[in-house]
Amino acid sequence: MTNQSSAVKFYSGEQIPLELHKVRIVQKLFLRPIEERKVAVEEAGFNTFLLNTKDIFLDMLTDSGTNAMSDNQVSSMLQADDAYAGSQSFYRMEEAAREVFGKHYVLPVHQGRAAENIVSQVFIKKGEVIPMNYHFTTTKEHMELNGGKVLEIYKDDALDIKSTKPFKGNIDIDKLKAVFEKYGKDKVAFVRMEASTNLIGGQPFSMQNMRDVKAICDQNDTMMVLDASLIGENAYFIKQREEEFKNAEIKDILLEMCGYADLVYFSSRKVSSTRGGGILTNSKDLYLKMRDLLVLYEGFLTYGGMSVREIEAMAVGLKETCDDTVISQSPSFIKYAVDNLDKAGVPVITPAGALGCHIDAMGFLPHVPQQEYPAGALASALYIISGIRGMERGTISSVRDENGDDVLADVELLRLAFPRRVFTLSQTMFVVDRVKWLFDNRELVGGLQWIEEPPLLRFFMGRLEAIGDWPEKLMAKFKEDFGDSL
């Protein structure tokens, strides 16, 4: 039964996302004066990861571990069964995962990257390649640490900022065939498909694309691995955008998607609105290959580093992934923000995807060279003028090459995440309003440079500083326009 917010029409004709839930527990937010926000971002080394949430108004860093839980999830936590081994909580979660993903063997892990660690250690040998639609930061690090090489074989137009292509997360089938021809099937560790491709703007792939990829994997006796962290939203887009599925049930779409994958792994921090993660397969052989590492790195097979309370909430959350009213919320609010910003001429990734609204920082700040990190600068500038925390997804989030040179990212994005059912429409309107103001004053924003740069995953812990005094100028203009307003 369809029950999405997009299925509700307003008399006014306006397209307004409708909250299909009521708010029963709330958390107070603080919107600090701009002077305090400027000091906070300077102390955080212009790295939004290093801000303290006490200084943040709308936390749009990520949806990871920040989606709102349902009443049923919270109440399920009370029946958690504390046991090192054989916890009933695990068996309830195992049953839910089997039902939703259609896979028999369920390996629990403490979060998504723990699954990537195990999958990479077990299935990647030095010198092997892993073709995929696009990498995710932690995925790539794990694969490279194990001697693998990531090959991104997205369609040529997948990185176009302005687009009407419904499935920019598709793998290019000709490029996949060329990979097998070039390297030979023995050198291809596996093919990875990431649902709602995170780093290119939350863009989904189509079911037809999965079928085509699967056929090539089968011809080459190669495994297909599905990163299902954002599978609910990808299934929602398949239903919205792929004619064949317009009347399909989400649960059937999920089962078909997982059916093509030999191995499915996910971050529960996203998919089930909890914390934790999992690896799933129907192959006993694959399961046995991973089992021992799981016990070594994560904990026993029936908790995998998670608290039993989270495991209970995960069981409920996985089932709720089949509910249109849950998985349509984030995409419909993102669409509202993207459409309104696009209308105002702000360069945003279109069509609107999953996870967040993605602003094209190179289009927004054409005067800031890519070597001065426009996406990082934009994230800091937006925080200063609004208290909104977004995440840099550009060159700061990539790594230097073997010569120590920056590898300029394909796209410089400021991601404003919309965790499920967390923000209201007026908060979303505030985001649109402040981004528009910043766009009109964009020439005031300058670049950033490193003052402390860790070699591994530098975007998490690194510190930068503003080049010049642009934060002061930006603050002065804000005060001129807004007076005493926060």
Residues that bind ligand F0G (CB under 6 A): 62, 64, 111-113, 136, 138-139, 194, 198, 227, 229, 267, 269, 277
Q: Quick one: 227 or 324, whose CB is closer to ligand F0G?
A: 227
Catalytic residue chosen out of the listed positions 10, 84, 285, 484: 84
Q: Which residues pair with 270 in a beta bridge?
A: none
When CB distances to ligand F0G are compared, the closest residue is 112
Q: Quick one: 38 or 135, whose CB is closer to ligand F0G?
A: 135
Amino acid at position 308, single letter: V
Instruction: Write the CB contacts of 482 (distance below 8 Å, at least 6 apart in sequence).
Output: none
Q: Which helix (H) or strand (E) holds 340?
A: helix 329-343
Residue 482: active-site member = no
Residue 84: active-site member = yes
Catalytic residue chosen out of the listed positions 105, 180, 190, 459: 459
**CA–CA distance, 260 with 282 (Å, rounded to integer):** 11
Catalytic residue chosen out of the listed positions 90, 101, 136, 265: 136
Q: Quick one: 145 or 476, whose CB is closer to ligand F0G?
A: 145
Give min distance, CB of 443 to ligand F0G, in A: 30
Q: Quick one: 224 or 445, whose CB is closer to ligand F0G?
A: 224
Give min distance, CB of 49 to ligand F0G, in A: 10
Structure tokens at 290: 């991973």
Q: Quick one: 63 or 372, whose CB is closer to ligand F0G?
A: 63
Residue 136: active-site member = yes
Tell me 167's DSSP state.
Answer: -
Give min distance, CB of 168 to ligand F0G, in A: 15
Q: Quick one: 123 or 136, whose CB is closer to ligand F0G?
A: 136
Amino acid at position 439, single letter: F
Give min distance, CB of 292 to ligand F0G, in A: 21
Residue 155: active-site member = no
What φ, ψ does residue 235 adopt, rounded to 5°? Answer: -65, -40
Give min distance, CB of 244 to ligand F0G, in A: 25
**Given strand 105-109, what is the order of strands in its sheet?**
105-109, 277-281, 263-267, 224-227, 191-194, 129-132, 149-152
Residue 227: active-site member = yes
Single out the residue of 99, 122, 177, 138 nearest to residue 397, CA to CA.
138
Q: Which residues pair with 278 in a beta bridge?
A: 108, 266
Give min distance, CB of 359 to ligand F0G, in A: 16
Cα→Cα distances 336→300, 314, 346, 435, 464, Å: 44, 29, 14, 14, 33
Q: Is residue 335 within 8 Å of 352, Cβ to Cβ?
A: yes
| Catalytic residue set | 84, 136-137, 227, 270, 393, 459
